[in-house]
Amino acid sequence: MKTVYLDNNATTKTAPEVVEAMLPYFTEKYGNASSMHTFGGAVGHDVEAARKSVAALLGAAHADEIIFTSCGSESDNTALFSAVRSYPGKRHIVTTRVEHPAVLNTCKYLQSQGYGVTYLPVDGNGMISLQDLEAAVTAHTALVSVMMANNETGVVFPVEEAARIAKSRGALFHTDAVQTAGKLPIDLKNSRIDMLSISGHKLHAPKGIGALYVRRGTRFVPFLIGGHQEHSRRAGTENVPYIIGLGKACELARAHMSETGRIAALRDRLEHGITAAVPNVRVNGGGSPRLPTTLNISFEFIEGEAILLHLSDLGIAASSGSACTSGSLEPSHVLRAMGVPFTFAHGSIRFSLSVYNTGSDIDFVLAELPPVIMKLRAMSPFWHEAQGKACRAGAESL
């Protein structure tokens, strides 16, 4: 069965070119990048080339501002812990209610250790307010961490303005750009951002590799302690094949940036096709600037896991903010922060595209999705109640 993969915000396919670039580093090029012999030194040279590719994708002024990590979560943890350890006198952090758990749960942990944390709210379109940020940041704030784009809704936050506010009060600014890198242009040399996290497997590198950008001159305390790797900023023998893979993926992402318009058009066709064919839907974050790859749409009166199971049966891979998919019993913290009504929140589906999606993928979803929605609504008591009310209202108006 053909798979129509529309869950690229969860993870992406490793690009064949990336796999090919990695393979020699499992076999003949197995030297330790830190070794004092030519055999390892050559590998070290390739690691530096990969670092330059990552720096180029992010528009960083210097390659040595890139630290390789094991994943986006490690990058986020490193940034947050480094900020509070670098400024022990400041015991306050500002972030948002809709961050990825790698930031949110780290903030909750820091709270349990006596730090104050302000969680900025979002409006109905999933957008933060810069006025709220202005009000929250004080001279005691060590760090402001605001994601560049939300993983569930794709809503893009005004991080440059947020960074300006943070810097004006003497706070560091970090952004989780895991969902943005490779999808929107990033230009760190003309930016006020101090630290930025990315993850390989969201941009067609494999799982298990990430990077943290730390602007030159930013105070830094390592998260993983040990050897002198990564200029003593991240201990542990370099994961060479994966670093090479991330470098190649960043190179490809730069080349693919020209495809952004094509992907946005596919997403828009999917969105308009669904909203035209299915009543009682809402596009979450639709009123805000969004990533070109992401569509978060809610189907009223039915539940997301049931939709996903039917889609999965048809070969369509997507995800849901429904409670039942996570085992948490509550729908997505992002949708709740946005005030999405429960009648919609449980029935939310996220479609996320990549450069590998085609028009025929979208046609397939537009043909197969509406009958699934109809089938589930036909068995939903709330759909029948709503239809009954609509009928009565119709009869009364006659």
Q: At what angle do helices 240-256 and 38-58 cross, to 10 degrees?
A: 30
Q: Helical H runs in 128-170?
A: 130-136, 159-168
Question: Contact at 8 Å (CB) between 152 and 101?
Answer: no
Query: Within positions 355 to 384, which residues make up the interface with another protein, using CB under 8 A?
Result: 378-384
User: CB 218 → another protein: shortest distance, Å?
Assistant: 24
Residues 6 or more apart whose Cβ sits within 8 Å of residue 199 = 71, 72, 75, 178, 209, 210
C-beta closer to another protein: residue 18 or 307 = 307
Which of 100, 234, 248, 346: binder of another protein (CB under 8 A)?
Answer: 346
Binding mask 315-334 for another protein (x = CB under 8 A): -------xxxx-xxxxx---
Residues 6 or more apart whose Cβ sits within 8 Å of residue 320 = 304, 305, 307, 308, 348, 349, 350
Size of the site for another protein (CB under 8 A): 37
| Residue 107 falls in the annotated catalytic set | no
HEC string of 327-384 equals CCCCCCHHHHHCCCCHHHHCCEEEEECCCCCCHHHHHHHHHHHHHHHHHHHHCCHHHH
C-beta closer to another protein: residue 217 or 381 = 381
C-beta closer to another protein: residue 290 or 346 = 346
Question: Contact at 8 Å (CB) between 4 and 364?
Answer: yes
- Based on the shown chain and the rule CB under 8 A, indicate whether residue 92 belongs to the binding site for another protein: yes
C-beta closer to another protein: residue 112 or 258 = 112
Binding mask 242-281 for another protein (x = CB under 8 A): ----------------------------------------
Distances (CA, A) of 196 to 83, 163, 183, 349: 13, 12, 15, 28
Binding mask 104-123 for another protein (x = CB under 8 A): -------xxxxxxx------
CA distance 193 to 273: 38
Question: Contact at 8 Å (CB) between 178 and 72?
Answer: yes
C-beta closer to another protein: residue 43 or 103 = 103
Q: Which one of 27-35, 65-73, 196-204, 297-305 is the stretch in contact with another protein (CB under 8 A)?
A: 297-305
**Number of Cβ atoms within 10 Å of the Cβ of 276:** 11
How does DSSP classify residue 281?
E
- Based on the shown chain and the rule CB under 8 A, indicate whether residue 131 belongs to the binding site for another protein: no
C-beta closer to another protein: residue 107 or 166 = 107
- Based on the shown chain and the rule CB under 8 A, indicate whether residue 217 belongs to the binding site for another protein: no
CA contacts within 13 A on the Cβ side of 92: 13
Q: Which of 71, 250, 324, 391 is catalytic?
A: 324
CA distance 361 to 265: 13
C-beta closer to another protein: residue 327 or 394 = 327
Rg (CA), the chain: 23
User: CB 197 → another protein: shortest distance, Å?
Assistant: 25
- Based on the shown chain and the rule CB under 8 A, indicate whether residue 52 belongs to the binding site for another protein: no
- Based on the shown chain and the rule CB under 8 A, indicate whether residue 301 belongs to the binding site for another protein: yes
- Based on the shown chain and the rule CB under 8 A, indicate whether residue 282 belongs to the binding site for another protein: no
Q: Which one of 35-43, 99-107, 225-233, 301-309 is the stretch in contact with another protein (CB under 8 A)?
A: 301-309
CA distance 277 to 345: 20
Active site residues: 324
Contacts with another protein by CB under 8 A lie at 91-92, 111-117, 301-306, 309-310, 313, 322-325, 327-331, 342-343, 346, 378-384
